[in-house]
Amino acid sequence: MPSSRRNCATAAPKGSAKLQAKVASLLGALPVLPVDVPVDIKYGSLRAELEAAGEPIGANDLWIGAHACTLGLTLVTGNTREFERIPGLAVENWLA
């Protein structure tokens, strides 16, 4: 979750301490799932498959999708168009 901490540090003037505390509290309550060999293998196969089809997606989104797909999890995102290209990945948009 380093990018979440970076985003909160740069979003508010001088990295609002209150916002940082809220983000730290939220992230502390969420389980962190390790990226292991099966996720790495899935990432590689998905990247090759999507590139061959002429439909690559960004590396970070691909890691997120490969991780969720490997673990059989549903990915909740507002960016369904990007993630729906990943075969076998369950995607939900709670904002729609």
Residue 48 has pLDDT above 60, yes or no: yes
Residues 52 and 26 in one domain: no
User: Quick one: what percent of the chain has pLDDT higher than 90?
Assistant: 65
Judgement on whether residues 43 and 10 belong to the same structural domain of the protein: no
pLDDT, average across residues 5-19: 65
Task: Give the structural domain span for 15.
Answer: 1-32
pTM score, two decimals?
A: 0.75
Q: Which amino acid is at 41?
A: I
Statement to judge: residues 45 and 26 lie in one domain: no
12, 52: one domain:
no
What pLDDT is stored for residue 60 in this prediction? 95
Domains in the chain, number = 2
Q: What is the dihedral of CA 10, 15, 30, 42, to 10 degrees?
A: 20
Are residues 49 and 68 located together in one domain of the fold? yes
Fill in the DSSP letter of residue 18: H
Max avg pLDDT among 19-28, 29-38, 54-63: 54-63
pLDDT of 32: 85
Q: Does one domain contain both 44 and 88?
A: yes
